[in-house]
Structure formats: structure tokens, C-alpha cells
Structure 1
């Protein structure tokens, strides 16, 4: 088995859920399950964040123009059902089911068409970035699928291939390579570029948008990578054998 990881980056106004996540950087959605047949798709999502963000996400899920993972920009005529299974101040569990029409397509449907049944899907959404992890067979035609996906997403959605490796049971969706700090190669590259450009200096020598332009990636993508890298570094410090007092300056 192999894991194939890639990300979609939605432009403003092209995905109601992505628009809400972009407006609320503290919110995040991870899939608990995702299942596909040739004629339908259903999934359960776990959303976390401030109450205001979750209320906006709940409304976005109910948007008549939104079908979970459908890549069609115009009204595809699908029949969609959305149900909140659990609601609290900082969590939403949302079930979505839709029946496909001739005009509809999605990442899971394209994967089913190219790879066949028996696939495992995992997704993670922050900001305008929607990251997919698909567990599939060793002989799956990755390039044919990626070409088909690229043709479907159009110009309003960026697409980036992140990883294709043999399945590693110890690797999560945000897994690291061999850096020893919990950073992916993309996160490490972004962090190195930010440090070298003076992004972390006081005052900053470069703004995030300028750095993103220099790296030729969307600003939201760079922001996501830096936030994940910073989180990984913070967790590494806290989880280390040394106490925080050992790394903080004496008072």
C-alpha cells in the first residue's frame, strides 16, 4: 500500500467552507470518515474553533451552492443532505450526503474511477487549503488521476502534490520527514526562507505577502506552512526532556 498526499487551494468565492476558514484562522476541519460510490458521497467532519467560526461553518455547510468535495463551479443539480450530529461551543460534528448527477465530480469520485474500490480517505482543512491523504494500492495510476484532477479543478483552485510514499503507520497527515522536529519538507523550506528573509526579526524585514510572492506560492499556503512549523517546534520544545525553565531566560 502507498499513501498519496496532495492539497487544493481554493480562491476566494469558490468554496463557502474555505471562505469561512480563511476568515477564521483558528478554525479547522478534519474528516472522521469519507465514503464514495459511483453515484453518491457521504462523509463525517470534525470541526473545531471559536463559536463564531463554527456558527459560520454550519451556515456554509447549509449553503445551497455547497456540496462536500464537489468540484463543479455551477449548479450541478445534486441532492444534498447535511446534518449536525454534535454541537458544542468549540466543536461541530457534521454529516453530509449527496447523490451525484451527470455533471458532478469530486476528488473521491475521480479516485474511485482511477484507482477502484477499497480506498481510504483522510482530509484536513485550514484556511483555503484542503489537504487530502489517500491510501491506495501499489500499482494505482497516480499520474492519470492527478492529470484528471488538474483538468477538473480549473483555474480557481490551486493544486499541489505533496507526497507519494510507501505506507508508514507512524506518519500522520501532518507527518515529518527525517528532520527530527516534526516538520515536513515544505514546512522546513518555508521556515528557512522566512528566517533568511528576516520575517522573524523585530521589526520584520519582510511581510508575509512579499515573502509568498518571492517564493511564488499563495500567501495562505505560506501562512499555513509557517503556522504548522511553529506549532511543531513549540510542541517539540514542550515535549523535550529539558524543562521550559531550561530554555527560557532567567528572570
Structure 2
């Protein structure tokens, strides 16, 4: 089994759900169940947050509540959303989507690349839709390429690994490169000679990607030090 973790970061004005959550940082959506076939998808989501978020999501129930489609422009998929339950600070939503040739989603792409047996987990905060895909062995690089090619958003892949292995035997090259660049630029000096966002700009990568790579590299180094 392989674990693939990545974030789809939506630009302003593209996805109404992302715009809503960006206005209310305390709100979030978490998938409770997600099932997919070649031509359809159905899922149950729990939304938490202030009444302004939950009221707006209730109003979006229908075509605007598009949590899965990666192609917002000219997508004519039939989407139906039903409110199952509303309580203090919580909203339970059921959605069903009939896929069209013009539309693609993370669950559909995962099924096409990995076949049956894929487990999907999704958490959405502000404009960042974080996916965790647990799948049988398969063409991970092709899945990564397809998600990036299809998504009308910035896609940041955080982790592709074997979940049965606790730690990597060697520091992954991208994390090693990030760590070396941080040391050379004075990121670890006291006081710091450069901030993470400045280093990210120099390296030409998103700040969140650099921060993640440094955090993982630091965790690897700490584990290695304690083990030895």
C-alpha cells in the first residue's frame, strides 16, 4: 500500500466553497465517506464552523457545492447535495455527482490509476483542500502528473510513501536540498539571516512546500540522532 498526501490550493473567485472558508478561517469541511465509480461519485461531509459558514453551505447545496470537480470551467456535471443534519456548529451533507466527459476529480483519477480498494480522506480549511490517498501499489507518478494537469488550482504534493515503514532510510533528495539551502542562506542562524518565505521565493517553490520539507528533514534528523 502507498500513501499519497497533497494539497489543492484554490485561487480566489474560482471555487465558492474555498472563497467562503477563506472568509471564515475557523470553518472546515471533513469527508466522512467517499465512494466512486467510473461515472459517478457520492460522499458524506461534515462541516464545522460559525453559523455564517453553515448557513452559506446550506444555500450552496446543489450545483455550487462542488468539492470534488477539478475543472470548474465548462463542467456540466449533475450534482445534488442534501442536508442530512444541522446542529450547533455542525452540518452534515450528502452529495451525489454524475460525471461528464469534461469533468475529473481526485477520487476518479485515483480509481483510474489504482483500481478498486482506494481509501480517500479529505480536509478543507480556507483555500487549502488536503487529500490523503491510501492505495494499492500502482503508478503514483502518473497519478501525480494527472492531478497537476487537470486541476484548475495549485497542487502541492507533501508525501508519497509506504505507510508500513516508519521512517525513510535516507533523507529524500528534495528535503535534503531544502535543508542545505536553508543552512547556506542562514535560516538556522541566530538571529535568522533569511525568512522561510524569502528562501522559498529564491528557490521558486511555495512557502508551504519549503516549510513542509524543512519540517520533515528536521524530524528525520532528530530521529536519526536519537536512534544513534
Same fold (TM over 0.5): yes
CA distance in 1, matches of 2:190, 2:25: 25
Aligned residue in 1 for 2:110: 111
1:38-49 alignment, distance < 5 Å: 38-49=38-49
Matches within 5 A, 1:154-233: 154=152, 157-168=153-164, 212=197, 214-216=199-201, 221=208
Q: Which runs of 4+ in 1 moved over 3 A?
A: 193-198, 210-214, 216-219
| Partner deviation per Cα, 1:148-178 (whole Å, 9 max, x = no partner) | 1111014xx1111111222259x9xxxxx89
Compared CA separation, residues 82 and 213, structure 1 to 2 (3 A): farther
Kindly tell me: are residues 194 and 20 of structure 1, through their superposed partners in 2, closer, same or farther at Cα, counting changes over 3 Å? Answer: farther
- Aligned residue for 2:130? 131
Aligned residues: 194
How many angstroms apart in 2 are the aligned matches of 1:99 and 1:37? 10
Alpha-carbon spacing, 1:96–1:135, altered in 2? closer, same or farther (3 Å): same
Q: Distance in 2 between matches of 1:213 and 1:66?
A: 36
Unaligned runs of 5+ in 2: 169-174, 180-186, 216-228
Residue 90, structure 1, aligned to residue 89, structure 2: yes
1:133 to partner: Cα distance: 0.6
Q: Secondary structure at the match of 2:112?
A: helix
Quote how far apart the aligned CAs of 1:214 are. Answer: 4.8
Unaligned runs of 5+ in 1: 172-176, 179-184, 199-205, 230-251
Name the counterpart of 2:99. Answer: 100
Q: CA-atom RMSD, angstroms?
A: 3.2
> In the superposition, relative to structure 1, how do residues 58 and 194 fare at CA in structure 2: closer, same or farther (>3 Å)?
farther
Q: Any conservation in 1 of the 2:44–2:94 contact (CA below 8 Å)?
A: yes
The question of whether the paired residues in 2 share the 8 Å contact of 1:48 and 1:90 is answered with yes
Change (3 A) 1:100 1:195: farther
Partner of 2:172 in structure 1? none
Give secondary structure in 2 for the equivalent of 1:33. strand
